[in-house]
Structure 1
Amino acid sequence: MARTRISLVDLATTLGLAVSTVSRALSGHSSVSEATRQRVHRLAKQLDYQPNPFATALRTGVPRVLGVVVPRIDGPGMAAALQAIETAAGRAGFQLMVCQSQADAGRERKTVSALVRARVDGVLVAPVPGQCNVGYFNRLHEQEIPLVCFGLVPEGLLCPVAPPDDYHAARYAVEQLLAQGCRRIVHLAGPHHLPSTQRRHQAYLDALASRGLPYAEGLVWFCPATQEADASTEQELRRYASLADAFFVSHTLTPPTLARVLEHLKATGSGSEAPNPRLVTLPQNYDQVGTAATQLLLRQLTRVETRPFASSG
């Protein structure tokens, strides 16, 4: 049999007090005597009373909810980021409202606007690649709406950001291949205009230079900024298989695509000395990114007295 949740009404009825008195006693309000506060807290502990955060939000008008917008929940790195955000937010007493933009800039903006109108305490956004909503996010920041962008953030944002450490992660990955004796390393990069792509490519160049290896333009491919990026990358991996002794894929691939690529390389081999080209993807510390983003948002909330959000379309 399911256990009945103890409510404020139950406490008030048992103690013979008004619900409002019990509520004020639990919140430590000075209008309630010390003796009454102790009675209420004793019974609440005895009955294992747990306040409902959503009911509290409705009663006080101050929600304890953070909105999170990601391109896709099952996208690369997002599961780790969301788990870290939930952990950090939960420790601070916040619930999450998680939404997907489906990697569409228009939908991203509408979703963030809906969260703002719903008066969540703050918003965490993993932006759609590109500059599409930079102006909109900057307007929210200027309105003092608590906002943090994380992941592959575009340049020009005024709000706090929590990007992954692209350069050092990429440098480490390429140096691991070089240490294994690989010399013809194909770099399959993200869209060329993204700052994250440029940082990762610079790490690739620096790692080669550290070993005295020349840059070969024919061993670099920048994928298009489309939703078909996975398919394009998979096609290029197959095309380059006969030229490379290793692949460095510095933009994120979904697990099914990566599995198909590895199976293809294993089955076909290559024309290089290695029986199969080695493949490394960029190590993503999205758990750390999620934690850092949440901490940045919580700092904003402690600096600013909670206020109703202005509507922003």
Structure 2
Amino acid sequence: MKAQTTIKDIAKALNISPSTVSRALKDHPDISQKTKDAVNQVAEELDYHPNTIAQSLRKSRSNTIGVVVPELVHHFFASVISGIEDVAYKAGYRVVICQTNEDVEREKQNVSALISSRVDGILCSMTKETRDFKHFKSVQKRNIPLIFFDRIANEVKADSVVVQDYEGAFQAVEHLISQGCRRIAHFKGPDSLLITKQRINGFHDAMREHKLPVEQDLIIEADNRDLARATIRQMVESGAPLPDGIFCVNDNVAVGALLQLREMGVKVPEQVKIIGFEDDVTFTQLTDPQISSVVQPSFEMGQLATHMFLDELARKESHPDKILEIKTPRIEVLKTKVVVRGSSCEKVWEEEKNRRVQE
């Protein structure tokens, strides 16, 4: 087996010192461009790769960020991860991604594995089943920066990035009301999540603002496509009057509701109008009609979470031998906006149909 090329091999080939090679590879300003070019050329010819393990031992850093997400298949989390990697790469960090599949035990195992791998920080969107937060507090006891995004834990004093869940829900319901809806259902997420509570509050306050009654039996936990389909099926088969509008906790739920209503002969948006909260834009624009949604800046969320990690790392590295007291958590709130498509507006639905005919 061929031995791995080292800085000393490059130095020997060019008859210069290893320290000069090291500085040239790091693009140090004291090294001439001619020497840098020569070093980089020989490094490529000899297939040199830096020993990141040795570097990390010297710096007490792994230059690795751990990311924990509920699911990778959703566009929302994929977009957040892209934002994380955008900032991490420019800062010289690698990203290790762990998926929990909404399993709290897997979340605990992932966090433990990341700690054991000596990551420099952990960015996390927790599972909807998380009730015990010891594994997150364990991260902080080791002075490892912990940043939450989207789904956060108030029980853990950590920096976080969220969107305007309350305002987005309020605006979504106001939009349905502006389209003539008066009996509006809300397909909500699990009560354990703060985003669920924020979106329910926005739903309630929008109804109250417009002096419309909230029917408690129209607030139903249905946070995935299958549950949305089952809920619609039960509503239609009961023979009771259907709501004229549905605000869904996410787009996946909105798609399920739309597909089931159409299968059962209910017209969308003529009879029932639907709006979601963006988590998978790839589906919202492929349905017929397209799904109206509260759009979240997911890429920017990932970027900001990573910048917050870098800030927190710098703060803690200023006192490497001391577990710093948890400061007042920094919470960044990103704006949302309602994007109106055919599922909630008959005029837009007509435009969508005409556009498809022309295409």
Question: Would the TM-score normalized by the shorter structure come out above 0.5?
Answer: yes
CA–CA distance in 2 between the matches of 1:141 and 1:52? 37
CA–CA distance in 1 between the matches of 2:249 and 2:56? 47
1:299 and 2:311 are equivalent in the alignment: yes
Distance 1:72 1:85, change over 3 A: same
Does the 8 A contact of 1:141 with 1:158 survive in 2?
no
Distance 1:76 1:248, change over 3 A: farther
CA–CA distance in 1 between the matches of 2:176 and 2:6? 60
- 1:217-274 Cα offsets, whole Å, 9 max, x none, are 12211248xxxx5422321133335511111111462xxx6545323323434499x6
Question: Partner amino acid for 2:14?
Answer: L
Question: Partner amino acid for 1:298?
Answer: L
C-alpha deviation, 1:171, in angstroms: 1.1
1:40 and 2:52 are equivalent in the alignment: no
Aligned-residue sequence identity (percent) comes to 29
CA–CA distance in 1 between the matches of 2:43 and 2:171? 51
Task: Give the structure 1 partner of residue 54 of structure 2.
Answer: 58
Does the 8 A contact of 1:166 with 1:199 survive in 2?
yes
Task: Give the structure 2 partner of residue 239 of structure 1.
Answer: 234
Does the 8 A contact of 1:171 with 1:206 survive in 2?
yes
C-alpha deviation, 1:118, in angstroms: 1.2
CA–CA distance in 2 between the matches of 1:128 and 1:54? 37
Task: Give the structure 2 partner of residue 127 of structure 1.
Answer: 126
CA–CA distance in 2 between the matches of 1:295 and 1:271? 46
Does the 8 A contact of 1:57 with 1:64 survive in 2?
no
- 1:81-105 Cα offsets, whole Å, 9 max, x none, are 1111111212222121111122211
Question: Partner amino acid for 2:38?
Answer: L
**Equivalent in 246, 249, 260 of residue 264 of structure 1:** 260
What are the residue-to-residue correspondences of 1:163-312 with 2, within 5 Å?
163-223=162-222, 229-241=224-236, 242-251=241-250, 253=252, 258-270=254-266, 275-282=270-277, 283=294, 284-305=296-317
**C-alpha root-mean-square deviation of aligned residues, in Å?**
3.4
Does the 8 A contact of 2:24 with 2:39 survive in 1?
no
Distance 1:27 1:48, change over 3 A: closer
What secondary structure, in the 3-state scheme, does the structure 2 residue paired with 1:287 have? helix
What secondary structure, in the 3-state scheme, does the structure 1 residue paired with 2:148 have? strand
CA–CA distance in 2 between the matches of 1:178 and 1:53? 61
Does the 8 A contact of 2:184 with 2:247 survive in 1?
yes
Distance 1:88 1:163, change over 3 A: same
CA–CA distance in 2 between the matches of 1:90 and 1:113? 24
Unmatched segments (≥5 aa) in structure 2:
278-293, 324-359
- 1:45-97 Cα offsets, whole Å, 9 max, x none, are 66796x98873343342322111111221136211111111112122221211
Unmatched segments (≥5 aa) in structure 1:
1-5
Question: Partner amino acid for 1:239?
Answer: Q
1:147 and 2:150 are equivalent in the alignment: no
What secondary structure, in the 3-state scheme, does the structure 2 residue paired with 1:161 have? strand
Task: Give the structure 2 partner of residue 72 of structure 1.
Answer: 71
Task: Give the structure 2 partner of residue 158 of structure 1.
Answer: 157
Distance 1:54 1:204, change over 3 A: farther
What secondary structure, in the 3-state scheme, does the structure 2 residue paired with 1:123 have? strand
Does the 8 A contact of 2:232 with 2:260 survive in 1?
no
CA–CA distance in 2 between the matches of 1:57 and 1:305? 19
Question: Partner amino acid for 1:279?
Answer: I
Aligned residues: 292
C-alpha deviation, 1:195, in angstroms: 2.5
What secondary structure, in the 3-state scheme, does the structure 1 residue paired with 2:115 have? helix
What are the residue-to-residue correspondences of 1:78-97 with 2, within 5 Å?
78-97=77-96
Question: Partner amino acid for 2:310?
Answer: L
Question: Partner amino acid for 1:118?
Answer: S
- 1:162-201 Cα offsets, whole Å, 9 max, x none, are 2232111111111111111111111111123432212111
What secondary structure, in the 3-state scheme, does the structure 2 residue paired with 1:77 have? helix
